[in-house]
Homo-oligomer: A and B are copies of this chain.
Amino acid sequence: MSNGRKKLLIIGGVACGPKAAARARRLDPSAEITIIERGPLLSYAGCGLPYYIGGSIPELDGLRKTQYGVIRDEEFFNSVKDITTRTRTLAETIDRKQKTVRVRNLETNVTEDISYDKLVLAVGASPVRPPVEGLNLDRVFSVHVPEDARKMRELIESGEVDKAVFIGGGRIALEVAESLFAHAVDTTIIEIEGSILPEVLDPEIAATVAGALRAEGVAIFISEKVLRIEGNEDGRACKVVTETREIPTDIVVVATGVRPNVQLARETGLAIGETGAIAVNERLQTSDPDIYAGGDCVECTSLVTAKKMYAPLGSTANRHGRVIGDNVAGGDATFPGIVGTCVMKTMGVNVSSTGITERQARDLGYSPLTCIVPSMDRAHYYPGGKPILIKLVADAKDGRLLGGQVVGPGDVTKRIDVLATALTSRANIDDVANLDLGYAPPYSSALDTVAHAANLLKNKRDGIVRSVTPMELRKRMGRDEDFVVLDVREASELEKSKLDDKRVCAMPLSRLRSSAEEIPKDKELICLCQLGSRSYEACRTLEGMGFDDVKFLEGGLRFWLELGEWNG
């Protein structure tokens, strides 16, 4: 610090790095701030790449423009922010004693040592390369950097892509699939796990999303392992071979998740966490207090489970950047953690999740209490409403909310953001039921579906009602067990759809009280309606009349039908 100016060196120029640099500059006008970026571009919105591929974002430069239209390039960082940037520059080694980083210019191959007072690792993540032969063939893509997207769009616009196969059924795959769909590309998704989006959705919720995609013509194969990609004589991918089938294709997209870039940190001797990402404290310091890390290369604390988790997201990277910027400029900011919120759009379906899933809750030793509620996203009598499906997961022990999943064509992100906010304050289901959410007919029911779902959880917890899931009912129907399904919908509804099983008997809710003598007293009764609310009421009515083995079908016939052939 010969000139008395603090030297801040930031490795990584995409999301967390530039944010940290800009924040530090705003707080410390005299610091020497340098960003090193291995790629050619700075400060681009990686989350926008799927939409560039599909063309809804016309220019790739749109992803690195400010909201007032100026491109965030080297000149921008220099003139506007007084931040030095070096693109196509790789950080090779860190000398923590000397506090220097050896960097290599990837154009000239010249190396150089840059000294620092505070160092920031914002080195991101890299696509996982699954154990599949043929990943190096032409026309095999991952969607990680702008160049990937540019090549893909070019190829698609060339008209040479009629068919696409996705290896992996996670968020990126589904976002890019939507883009290809917009280009009328025949799309196949292959997921090795038992359901798509396995990290954020429970299998039955994922099944409804998969059902919606299949209805649009997308082929989805789950629990299926890809063995190899085969190429033609030109070295271009032309076929994907799985354990059970061969799928001809013009393009292969590998989207099997990302892995944190930890090699540099590991070689430098910094602590790596149990998740495999760089370990940091609340101030986002690594095990070396002069080295900070944030974004896709670090692990976060789950505010739900208090455990470490790896959930790389642009929003988290952005918030990390601000905290690091504060701290390297001499402040004392903390990043408490995340609840693990994920939202995405795919082919007319909005998909969202926060906290942990039922499966994750079980794996972590909780006794999860869950419910599934289908509804419209506004007052049922207000025109233009669209369906949504909500699943809540709570701890049966103390009623604390653990997570939520909301999917459907309707407004799901409002509900997931409410649940994410409630999770942050460790709300229980009574708190959620009592929330004073905005109500007017164009936006919600008088009791929003989030609160309604919380009330159903309370009823289940308090033993006021018992339910069966469609998955349980399907299994039991298959086993030829003896019970009666009372379809309590009105006659006009039965014409549209009904369950075809000899154990199903029509008994409209309006006739239930007057026709109780028609209902067998000695059999288990499972009430069924369209959305689950009338059948819940039927349960209470029947119990009031002395029937003692009564349940309702959770999620109603709508959820049953959305599950398609799936039976868990």
Contact = CB atoms under 8 A, between A and B. Distances in A.
A438 B413 contact: yes
A441 B47 contact: yes
A56 B48 CA distance: 36
Q: How many copies of this chain sit in the oligomeric assembly?
A: 2
Given A68-B493, A414-B414, A420-B435, A514 B79 contact: yes
Contact of A383 (B56, B417, B438): B56
Interface residues of A, number: 103
B80 A510 contact: yes
Nearest to A443: B413
Contacts of A335: 434
A165 interface: no
Contacts of A56: 382-383
Contacts of A427: 425
Contacts of A342: 438
B434 A48 contact: no
Given A82-B513, A379-B45, A446-B315, A438 B544 contact: no
A341 B490 CA distance: 36
- Among A26, A63, A464, max chain B CB count under 10 A is at A26
- Among A27, A79, A82, A436, max chain B CB count under 10 A is at A436
Contacts of A339: 436
B544 A29 contact: yes
A57 interface: yes
Interface string A158-179: 0000000000000000010000
Interface in A408-432: 411, 413-414, 416-418, 420-422, 424-425, 427, 431
A383 B57 contact: yes
Interface stretch (A127-135, A268-276, A316-324): A316-324
B513 A79 contact: yes
B440 A343 contact: yes
Contacts of A354: 436, 438
Interface in A432-481: 433-444, 446-448, 451, 455, 464
Nearest to A336: B434
A489 interface: yes
A376 interface: yes
A93 interface: no
A345 B440 contact: yes
Given A382-B48, A383-B56, A435 B439 contact: no
Interface string A212-227: 0000000000000000
A400 to B, nearest CB: 13
A244 to B, nearest CB: 33
A141 B250 CA distance: 67
Contacts of A48: 379, 381-382, 441
A267 to B, nearest CB: 30
Interface stretch (A100-108, A254-262, A284-292, A527-535): A527-535
A184 interface: no
Contact of A414 (B417, B540, B545): B417
A29 B541 contact: yes
Nearest to A315: B439
A277 interface: no
- Among A422, A425, A492, max chain B CB count under 10 A is at A425
A198 interface: no
A82 B438 CA distance: 32
A51 interface: yes
Contacts of A145: none
Interface in A35-59: 45, 47-48, 51, 56-57
A433 B318 CA distance: 11
A149 interface: no
Contact of A439 (B340, B343, B493, B545): B343
Contacts of A316: 436
Pairs of residues from A and B, 3 with the lowest C-beta to C-beta distance, nearest first:
A29-B544, A425-B425, A343-B438
Interface of A: 15, 25-27, 29-30, 45, 47-48, 51, 56-57, 62-63, 65, 67-70, 76, 79-80, 82, 175, 303, 313-319, 322, 335-336, 338-345, 352, 354, 376, 379-383, 411, 413-414, 416-418, 420-422, 424-425, 427, 431, 433-444, 446-448, 451, 455, 464, 489-490, 492-493, 509-514, 529-531, 533-534, 537, 540-541, 543-545
Given A51-B442, A420-B437, 15 more contacts: A29-B541, A30-B544, A48-B381, A63-B381, A67-B376, A76-B510, A79-B511, A322-B455, A341-B438, A413-B444, A416-B438, A417-B418, A421-B422, A421-B437, A422-B425
